Amino acid sequence: DIQMTQSPSSLSASVGDRVTITCRASQGISNSLAWFQQKPGKAPKSLIYAASSLQSGVPSKFSGSGSGTDFTLTISSLQPEDFATYYCQQYNSYPFTFGPGTKVDIK
Partner 1 sequence: EVQLVESGGGLVQPGGSLRLSCAASGFTFSTYPMSWVRQAPGKGPEWVSAISGSGGSIYYADSVKGRFTMSRDNSKNSLFLQMNSLRAEDSALYYCAKGGLYAGDLGYWGQGTLVTVSS
Using CB under 8 A, list all residues that contact partner 1.
1, 32, 34, 36, 43-46, 49-50, 55, 87, 89-92, 94-101
CA 73 – CA 17 distance, rounded (Å): 14
CA 99 – CA 45 distance, rounded (Å): 15
Q: How far is the CB of 61 from partner 1 (least distance, A)?
A: 19
Q: How far is the CB of 15 from partner 1 (least distance, A)?
A: 26
By beta-carbon proximity to partner 1, the closer residue of 17 and 98 is: 98
Q: How far is the CB of 8 from partner 1 (least distance, A)?
A: 15
In this structure, are residues 96 and 89 in contact, taking their beta carbons and an 8 Å threshold? yes
